[in-house]
């Protein structure tokens, strides 16, 4: 056994003892997660799937962390306060004031606003409701005739709106629900979001396909900052994560030792060289880009945040999912994406590829771990991009 392996194993044992990780970040094969995908894949051609992963037993076990609920229940998953501490995010309850974060998803979450209220009460966040003007839910063209409900996407929606609100509690939340998971409907929803928000979060994706670039006009136009989950299947680029004007968000395993918080590359973090899209000049000109050998093509992700379901976050969803409702522990790049979008909204400035590959954001470089096809490297890699946003 090598010295490096012993070092990694020692760190993982410390993480497991802290209750925040149970897998080796350097494992050569996908770990036997207790987690299951909310939207099993792969997605059919021309469609996407959500990237949330759930610990089904979390309601009973408490998952990666335990908290007492208002009704005496045990809540699993990391809290907003823990995430903010781990990534040095602002803690003000007015953070993000004056901004709107659009969440684009497929189908309807019928209890989205009510569940957001429960989440906000639990964690001491300001209420975000239709009545006080903070929360708005519309269909893909901005109307009130909502699409059909889907329990898988309802859990995704709960994750997205609750954690966008958790990180930027002063921002307004616009939930845009597409009629289906097909690109035609999602592109329409994206267009509406672009017209009504400067920060747009998309926790879904599918395989790359011929002609995908014709859809790029819908993602991150002008001063709109678009964030897209890089995927949860490990190595490989997805669309629209590979669209050149978006910020592709990968995933880490968040741990805590006696010296503080740290990130390992999550084995499920999507990332790779696009087969269709060219790298932006900002990415291609970044010093670490050459080492991933993408040959001038778009590389994903751009950055990362906690996504491993074994260090997952607490989410409340009253729409029954496989017979379970209430508090869940949820991970996937579906979790990291709305958190990064909300952190961007707090800046009040556009966050585009030039921003990520510039000097205005401070990153915690992630140099250990892999996504079963690429390894974490100093500077830039196909697992966590530039690393975790901490500045």
Task: Determine, yes or no, domain membership for 19.
Answer: no
Tens digits of per-residue pLDDT, 177-223? 999 999 999 999 999 999 999 999 999 999 999 999 999 999 999 99
Tens digits of per-residue pLDDT, 321-336? 988 899 999 999 999 9
Task: Determine, yes or no, domain membership for 215.
Answer: yes
Report the alpha-carbon angle 169-171-173, nearest 5.
100
Question: Number of folded domains in the chain?
Answer: 1
Tell me if the bond preceding 301 is cis, omega within 30° of 0. yes
* pLDDT reported for residue 236: 97
Average pLDDT over residues 138-159: 98
* pLDDT reported for residue 14: 42
The domain of 87 spans 53-389
* pLDDT reported for residue 74: 77
Task: Determine, yes or no, domain membership for 6.
Answer: no
Closest CA to 96 of 162, 159, 172: 172
Task: Determine, yes or no, domain membership for 67.
Answer: yes
Residue 109, helix vs strand vs coil: coil
DSSP 382: T
The CATH number that applies at residue 185 is 3.40.50.200
State both tokens at 170. Answer: 């002063």
Task: Determine, yes or no, domain membership for 99.
Answer: yes
Task: Determine, yes or no, domain membership for 24.
Answer: no
Report the alpha-carbon angle 230-231-234, nearest 5.
110
Q: pLDDT category, 305, cuts 50, 70, 90?
A: very high
Task: Determine, yes or no, domain membership for 280.
Answer: yes
Task: Determine, yes or no, domain membership for 333.
Answer: yes
Q: Is the model's pTM score more than 0.75?
A: yes
DSSP 248: E
> Which residue has 């880490």 as its token pair?
252
């Amino acid at each position: 056994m090598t010295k490096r392996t012993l070092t990694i194993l020692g760190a993982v044992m410390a993480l497991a003892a802290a209750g925040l990780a149970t897998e080796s970040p350097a494992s050569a094969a996908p770990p036997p997660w207790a987690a299951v995908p909310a939207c099993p894949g792969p997605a059919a051609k021309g469609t996407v799937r959500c990237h949330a992963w759930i610990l089904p037993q979390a309601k009973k076990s408490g998952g990666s962390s335990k908290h007492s609920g208002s009704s005496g229940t045990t809540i699993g998953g990391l809290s907003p306060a823990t995430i903010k501490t781990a990534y040095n995010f602002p803690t003000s309850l007015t953070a993000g004031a004056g901004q709107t974060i659009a969440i684009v998803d497929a189908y309807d979450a019928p209890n989205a606003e009510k569940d957001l209220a429960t989440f906000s009460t639990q964690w001491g966040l300001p209420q975000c409701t239709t009545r006080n003007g903070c929360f708005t839910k519309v269909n893909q063209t901005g109307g009130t005739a909502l699409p059909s409900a889907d329990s898988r996407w309802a859990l995704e929606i709960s994750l997205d709106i609750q954690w966008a609100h958790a990180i930027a509690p002063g921002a307004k939340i616009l939930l845009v629900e597409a009629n289906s998971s097909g690109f035609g409907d999602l592109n329409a929803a994206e267009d509406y979001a672009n017209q009504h928000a400067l920060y747009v979060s998309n926790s879904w994706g599918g395989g790359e396909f011929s002609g995908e670039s014709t859809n790029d006009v819908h993602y991150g136009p002008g001063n709109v900052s678009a964030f897209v989950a890089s995927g949860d299947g490990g190595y490989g680029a997805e669309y629209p994560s590979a669209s050149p004007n978006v910020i592709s968000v990968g995933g880490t395993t968040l741990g805590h030792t006696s010296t503080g918080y740290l990130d390992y590359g999550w084995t499920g973090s999507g990332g790779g060289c696009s087969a269709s899209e060219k790298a932006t000049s900002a990415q291609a000109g970044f010093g670490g880009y050459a080492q991933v050998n993408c040959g001038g093509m778009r590389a994903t992700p751009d950055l990362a945040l906690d996504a491993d379901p074994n260090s997952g976050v607490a989410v409340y969803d009253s729409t029954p999912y496989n017979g379970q409702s209430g508090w869940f522990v949820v991970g996937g790049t579906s979790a990291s994406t709305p958190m990064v979008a909300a952190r961007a909204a707090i800046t009040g400035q556009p966050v585009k590829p030039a921003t990520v590959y510039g000097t205005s954001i401070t990153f915690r470089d992630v140099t250990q771990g892999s996504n079963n096809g690429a390894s974490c490297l100093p500077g830039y890699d196909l697992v966590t991009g530039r690393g975790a946003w901490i500045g």
